[in-house]
């Protein structure tokens, strides 16, 4: 049985390594997703990706340069 895995943040350091390790295992079918594939501020943009997925691994990381302390949405997203 093949487990379908979606890795969010697949271009980051952690996501890239998780994708690499799981892709080397025959029992996993791995799909990496990046910010170009969905909008973290609009959760329903993930629906098409989640529909064909058994497991989701969240490796999304937000660095300080992407956080505006004066913007509540930016802080909540982080």
pLDDT digits (tens, 9 = 90+) for 18-30: 999 999 999 999 9
Is residue 10 predicted with pLDDT exceeding 60?
Answer: yes
Residues near 36 by Cβ (< 8 Å), separated by ≥ 6?
none
> Torsion-angle region of residue 18: left (phi > 0), alpha (psi -120 to 50) or beta?
alpha
Question: Contact at 8 Å (CB) between 38 and 30?
Answer: no
Question: Contact at 8 Å (CB) between 18 and 59?
Answer: yes
Question: Contact at 8 Å (CB) between 30 and 7?
Answer: yes
Q: pLDDT-based confidence at 35, cuts 50/70/90? A: confident
pTM above 0.85, yes or no: no
Q: Kindly list the structural domains of the chain, giving each domain's residue range(s) and its CATH number in brackets, ordered by start.
A: 3-77 (3.40.50.720)
Is residue 75 predicted with pLDDT exceeding 80?
Answer: no
């Amino acid at each position: 049985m093949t487990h379908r895995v979606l890795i969010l943040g697949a271009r980051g350091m952690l996501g890239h390594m998780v994708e690499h390790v799981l892709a080397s295992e025959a029992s996993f079918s791995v799909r990496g997703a990046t910010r170009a594939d969905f909008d973290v501020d609009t959760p329903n943009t993930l629906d098409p990706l989640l529909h064909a997925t058994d497991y989701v691994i969240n490796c999304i990381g937000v660095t300080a340069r992407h956080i505006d302390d004066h913007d509540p949405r930016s802080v909540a997203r982080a």
